[in-house]
């Protein structure tokens, strides 16, 4: 397993279709370029995950959000603004550029603007897929040993860094209803 410490090197791997593990607020995440179908399929395979489930997209700033979502009123966005950047994911109506391989069977797309320094830097040049680093049904990975145990093969690199200290993965809310989904 290749260990890297530079976000720029990790971003190059993502841009080349690679899959990496990286630290987030609570657990390690698996990431790839969201618009590279082969990379997304590699994550499904690594996680042994059903394709009907969608993925979360990490973004770095508000300008990255607009192309990814269908129009949402400013009133609804107030709740999002109060939680971003931070460890809260929101499900938005998706725009036409979101392929089904990202959203699964859902009409929406889950998006988070992370405040975690490594995760945030990773998506400055564009959105990144974010899903917990674990085989479906197993506990999410919180250290390098767990990564090597669950993913002895298949990751192009691990971007090092400290986890954010939260005990649970991000809460997920529906932007249209305000209902907590996780």
| The pLDDT of residue 31 | 98
Average pLDDT score over the chain:
95
Share of the chain above pLDDT 70, in %: 100
Q: Taking residues 64-82, report their average pLDDT.
A: 97
Per-residue pLDDT tens over the stretch 163-172: 998 988 789 9
| DSSP run (H or E) holding 38 | helix 37-47
Is the confidence at residue 126, as pLDDT, over 90?
yes
Task: Tell me the pLDDT tens digit for each residue of 34-43.
Answer: 999 999 999 9
By the 10 Å C-beta count (0-12 exposed, 13-18 middle, 19+ buried), 115 is classed as middle
Q: Cis before residue 85, ω within 30 degrees of 0?
A: yes
Q: Which residues, listed in sequence order, are joined to residue 107 by a DSSP beta bridge?
A: none
Please tell me the pTM assigned to this model: 0.95
Q: For residue 52, name the pLDDT band (cuts at 50, 70, 90).
A: confident
Tell me which range, 68-72, 104-108, 163-167, is most confidently predicted by mean pLDDT: 68-72
């Amino acid at each position: 397993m290749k260990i890297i410490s530079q976000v720029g090197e990790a971003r190059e791997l993502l841009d080349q279709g690679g899959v990496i593990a990286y630290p987030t607020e609570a657990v390690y995440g698996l990431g790839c370029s969201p618009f590279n179908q082969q990379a997304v399929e590699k994550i499904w395979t690594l996680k042994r995950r059903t394709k009907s489930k969608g993925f979360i997209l990490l973004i770095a700033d508000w300008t990255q959000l607009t192309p990814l979502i269908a129009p949402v009123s400013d009133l609804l966005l107030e709740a999002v603004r109060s939680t971003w950047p931070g460890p809260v994911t929101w499900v938005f109506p998706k725009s036409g550029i979101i392929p089904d391989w990202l959203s699964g069977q859902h009409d929406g797309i889950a998006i988070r603007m992370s405040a975690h320094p490594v995760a945030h830097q990773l998506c400055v040049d564009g959105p990144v897929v974010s899903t917990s680093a674990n085989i479906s049904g197993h506990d999410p990975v919180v250290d390098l040993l767990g990564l090597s145990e669950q993913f002895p093969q298949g990751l192009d690199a691990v971007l090092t860094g400290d986890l954010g200290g939260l005990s649970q993965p991000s809460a997920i809310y529906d932007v249209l209803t305000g209902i907590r989904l996780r």
